[in-house]
Each structure stands twice: as structure tokens, then as C-alpha cells.
Amino acid sequence: MSACDTAQNALCKRLGAEYSIKTIDLERVIYRDFKNGFDVEISNTHTTSKRKRANIYLWYDKRIMVKCVRGIPFDNIGIEVDKLYIYTCNLYRNHNINPATMYNAKYL
């Protein structure tokens, strides 16, 4: 296991049991399935650098990218993912689950 693998595994473990490591599009990423049709892919985390920042991609139906939140410090990943989870719940509550319009829906 490389130092980057170890660092990413430690970050994933800190985020909690609902997170896992997956390889998506040939990149090792941290992943969380919201179990409501949405999931997040957290990229740029396979590193030992303390200066790197993550990008978080919110997907609907595993094929439609809904949001991208860029430049997130590793310590703030959990907070940003929680915001995205609330955002997805609000989309359902407001009956706004339409791929054509949900990208423009208000994000926290």
C-alpha cells in the first residue's frame, strides 16, 4: 500500500462508516451513496499533500452530474457533503427531481 493509499484510507475512515473508497474513471476516490438516488464522488484525495483540496461531485441516478463543489479543504469535506445531502432532500421535498432543472436549484 502506498503512502497516498494510507492517507486516503485514513481520511475516509475519519469521514465515517457511510464513506468508502472506489475507483471511478480510473481515479481512486472517496464515495458516499445517499440512498435516495443521489451519490457523491470526492476526488483529489489520493495524496499525502496537506495543501491539496478536494472536488465533490454530486450525481443523480449515477449518470447525471448535478453539482460540483471545488477547492474544499480536507477538514471541510464532511460539512460540504452534509450540505449536499440536505440539498438532495430539499429537491425531493419540493418535487424538483427533474434533471433539466435541478442543476439550477438553489444550493446552500
Q: What is the pLDDT of residues 15-73, one digit of tens each?
A: 999 999 999 999 999 999 999 999 999 999 999 998 999 999 999 988 888 899 999 99
Whole-model pTM: value is 0.87
SS3 sequence, the chain?
CCHHHHHHHHHHHHHCCCEEEEEECCEEEEEEECCCCEEEEEECCCCCCCCCCEEEEEEECCCEEEEEEEEECHHHHHHHHHHHHHHHHHHHHCCCCCHHHHCCCCCC
